[in-house]
Structure 1
Amino acid sequence: MGPYLELARAEFRRYSTYRLAIAAGVFTNTVFGLIKVGVLFGAIAAAGGKINGYDQRQAATYVWLGQALLAPVAMYAWSEVADRVRTGEIAVDLARPVDLQLSYWARDLGRAALALPTRGLPPLVLGALLMGLAYPASWTAYPLGLVSIALGVSVSFLCRYGVNLIAFWTLDVRGYLNLYTLVLGLFSGFYLPVHIFPDWLRGLAYASPFPSMFQSPIDVLSGRVLGWEACRVLAVQSAWLVGLVVLTRLVLWRAARRLVVQGG
């Protein structure tokens, strides 16, 4: 585990140097949080004060926890592996004495470890001061929530990594990345809580790994699910994690067998 811990530390240090980007991210997340709260408040008021268990205080909690998780979970497209496949540098990565998947996974966890306190907590604190939050009924929501965040970050990485592996067959994955970002935003609960979707759309969302990235950590941290119900949510996240690990390793094995790098 030594090399992977060093990779995680190096990524933590690398991202810590971008202080202006961190400050800009906090400002942007806070502004968009205020916009999302306003939209949800309007929808709740039009519905008579509550939508599927969400009143204004719970909606504010959902939004600000979501803004706190936005950077750590990395709710955006990422193409580093695909770019290295396109340039042929992936051949060097595959020849290194570290596992490709684990090395990028460790780096992503290091990035998330910095993003959570620096880009996640400030918008959450500001939201709590400006609008107040609904706090969980049990302290167990916090340790279980940290576990859920780690699982959400890992599921997000594996999905992004899997999309990047398409580059072994198509080279240009920009279209796939755009489609991934579009589906992710809808089915993860980033735009609206999955719980308020129509039944058919909610079923489609939970048939995908996307709620495990975003909706599930928010549910656990906010106390919407407690006790054994929270453990069930963690079990679902873990199942998606195991399935995605197996799937991406199989895809990489197939991809490495067909890789041809031109040049000398």
Structure 2
Amino acid sequence: MATVSGAFTNSVFGFILCGVYLTLWHERPGLGGYDVNDALTFVWLQQGLLLPIGIFGASTTIELGERIRSGEIAVDLYRPTHLMVWWMSMDLGRAMFQLIVRGGVPLLVGALVFDLKFPSGPVRWLAVALGLVLGILVSFGIRYLVALSAFWINDSRGSEAAAMLLSLFFSGTILPLVVFPGWFGEFARATPWAGTLQVPIDIWLGRSPNGIGGALLFQLGWILVLLLAGQLLTQLAMRKVVVQGG
């Protein structure tokens, strides 16, 4: 029921956002290099990907922060696998489930009403699939670091709320990042959050400024940085737990 109601809610918000975007692109045709069909396709892809990518946070990393706060993380540290790998596998399973059972519903609803754009050819579809997986991994890397903050501040809920606000703005959830002008637009498109939503959608639309290869390398670069940071913080956190006698 939660999945069905969530898909319905995303579809309703899709129509609301389409009204806003149609007005905006009527006043500013070609805004950000998007035409009207690009903008409408962006809306329905965005609504379908919010939960799989974890723009508002995700149950797996929220649970990790709670387990650190409650001390249950000690059980995780006993498992014969790396903490980050364990939670990454959990998050990928969650994301794939949501992508299959919920992600396509808003896009299907939008395609029935509007003339949306779809990738042409198997190579583009493969690039889209890879971009989506990389976007989920970028999102996990950010959320994992936020969850680990509970080792130092004891409760990661404040960090999660702040991270959600940054994610909403810099991922392109509120507006496509291509509409932001000048240095601020360049800064927004260089953040890791851009790799979670904006970049995969640009690959879908064929609007990646540096081409598909450049878009995928951008995501891979941020994955490498975030996972290395996660590995380092995990080691520091485990040392802290041992020092505290946990």
TM-score exceeds 0.5: yes
Q: 1:183 to 1:175 in 2, by over 3 A?
A: same
Give the C-alpha shift of residue 139 in structure 1.
4.1
Q: For residues 59-98 of structure 1, what are the structure 2 equivalents within 5 Å?
A: 59-78=39-58, 79-98=62-81
Map of 1:185 onto structure 2: 168
Q: For residues 92-241 of structure 1, what are the structure 2 equivalents within 5 Å?
A: 92-136=75-119, 138-225=121-208, 229-241=211-223
Among residues 44, 54, 78, which one is paired with 2:34 in the alignment?
A: 54
5+ residue gaps, structure 1, are: 1-19
Return the alpha-carbon distance in structure 1 between the equivalents of residues 243 and 115 of structure 2.
56
Give the C-alpha shift of residue 135 in structure 1.
3.0
Partner SS for 1:52: helix
Return the alpha-carbon distance in structure 1 between the equivalents of residues 176 and 217 of structure 2.
20
Partner SS for 2:194: helix
Return the alpha-carbon distance in structure 1 between the equivalents of residues 55 and 88 of structure 2.
16
Runs of 4+ in 1 over 6 A off after TM superposition: 261-264
The RMSD of aligned alpha carbons is: 1.9
Give the C-alpha shift of residue 225 in structure 1.
3.2
Give the C-alpha shift of residue 200 in structure 1.
2.2
Give the C-alpha shift of residue 101 in structure 1.
0.6
5+ residue gaps, structure 2, are: none
Map of 1:7 onto structure 2: none
Look up the equivalent residue of 1:243 and give its one-letter code.
Answer: V
Contact 2:66–2:156 at 8 Å: present in 1 too? no
* Residue 29 of structure 1 pairs with residue 19 of structure 2: no
TM-score by length of 1: 0.87
Return the alpha-carbon distance in structure 1 between the equivalents of residues 57 and 242 of structure 2.
26
Q: Could you list the per-position Cα deviations for residues 94-148 of structure 1 after superposition, in whole angstroms to 9, with x for gaps in the alignment?
A: 1111211111111111111111121111110110111120234554221100000
Q: 1:235 to 1:263 in 2, by over 3 A?
A: closer
Give % identity: 40
Give the C-alpha shift of residue 263 in structure 1.
9.1
